[in-house]
């Protein structure tokens, strides 16, 4: 399978430790699909902001949603350029030198402008996709959104056309002069696991398969 590369723009081209950079679409999608939250950096008349929010991908777009009254969503609809980031921290890397300590991670940055999903059918499909991302199979069990709820909700999306990925894995890279220094070196991994599902105190239904399997699946 041929991987599609996204040509870097002047603002997505990684210059610092460029060997850790990637512009492959498949790598971008893997990082975004593993995330439930992204951070959106933008500017308005009150200054600079970076706000976490739920996100999910459909095809070549990243989606977010919120109340029609959301200050952030209102600003994003004013042709505001944004930077969206997602980061997964995989481990701490301990080297022989204090200044060679680092981290293993997977990160993605997306530049562009959000657009409103105005078509009601596309809005419903996008929200259904969010529910399926949260818990595959649950959409068939819950009450769907009402016309009033959808009318009070704004769904936005940003094209994944201007993006950069930076990621690191493996052990420390020690300087030759430090190799004789006797100290433990290696990685302190972070395990991204899931706990067992916990029923609500007012729950009256049997646990569905997707909830029962939650604690046995990797994040």
Question: Has residue 8 got a pLDDT over 70?
Answer: yes
Domain ranges within the chain, ordered by starting residue: 18-182
Question: With pLDDT > 70 as the criterion, what percentage of the chain qualifies?
Answer: 97
Determine the Cα angle at 165 with ends 162 and 170, to 5°.
175
Is-above-0.85 flag for pTM? yes
Helix (H, G, I), strand (E, B) or coil at 88: strand
Residue 30, token pair as written in the block: 């893997």
Residue with more model confidence, 219 or 173:
173
CATH of domain 18-182: 2.30.110.10
Q: Could you list the beta-strand ranges (E) of 30-101.
A: 37-44, 47-54, 56-58, 61-67, 81-94
- The per-residue pLDDT for range 90-127, each reduced to its tens digit, is 999 999 999 999 999 999 999 999 999 999 999 999 99
Residue with more model confidence, 215 or 143:
143
Question: Has residue 85 got a pLDDT over 90?
Answer: yes
- The per-residue pLDDT for range 156-172, each reduced to its tens digit, is 999 999 999 999 999 99
Would you state the pLDDT for residue 12? 75
- The residues, ordered by sequence, that sit 6+ positions from 159 with a Cβ below 8 Å of its Cβ are 60, 61, 112
Question: With pLDDT > 90 as the criterion, what percentage of the chain qualifies?
Answer: 79
E strand or H helix at 158: strand 153-159
Would you state the pLDDT for residue 91? 96
- The per-residue pLDDT for range 33-81, each reduced to its tens digit, is 999 999 999 998 889 999 999 999 999 999 999 999 999 999 999 977 9
């Amino acid at each position: 399978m041929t991987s599609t590369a996204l040509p870097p723009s002047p603002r997505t081209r990684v210059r610092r430790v460029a060997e850790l950079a990637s512009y492959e679409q498949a790598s971008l999608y893997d990082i975004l699909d593993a995330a439930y939250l992204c951070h959106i950096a933008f500017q308005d008349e009150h200054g600079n902001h970076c706000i976490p929010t739920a996100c999910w991908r459909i095809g070549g777009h990243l989606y977010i949603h919120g109340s029609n009254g959301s200050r952030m969503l209102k600003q994003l609809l004013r042709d505001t350029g944004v930077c969206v980031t997602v980061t997964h921290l995989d481990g701490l890397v301990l080297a022989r030198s204090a200044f060679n300590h680092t981290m293993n991670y997977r990160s993605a940055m997306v530049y562009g402008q959000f657009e409103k999903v105005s078509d009601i059918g596309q809005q419903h499909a996008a929200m259904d996709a969010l529910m399926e991302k949260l818990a595959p199979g649950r959409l068939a069990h819950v009450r769907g959104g009402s016309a009033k709820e959808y009318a009070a909700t704004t769904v936005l999306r940003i094209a994944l056309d201007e993006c950069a990925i930076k990621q690191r894995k493996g052990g420390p890279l020690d300087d030759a002069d430090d190799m004789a220094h006797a100290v433990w070196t290696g990685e302190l991994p972070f395990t991204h696991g899931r706990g067992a599902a916990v029923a609500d105190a007012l729950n009256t239904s049997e646990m569905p398969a997707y909830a029962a399997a939650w604690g046995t699946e990797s994040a």
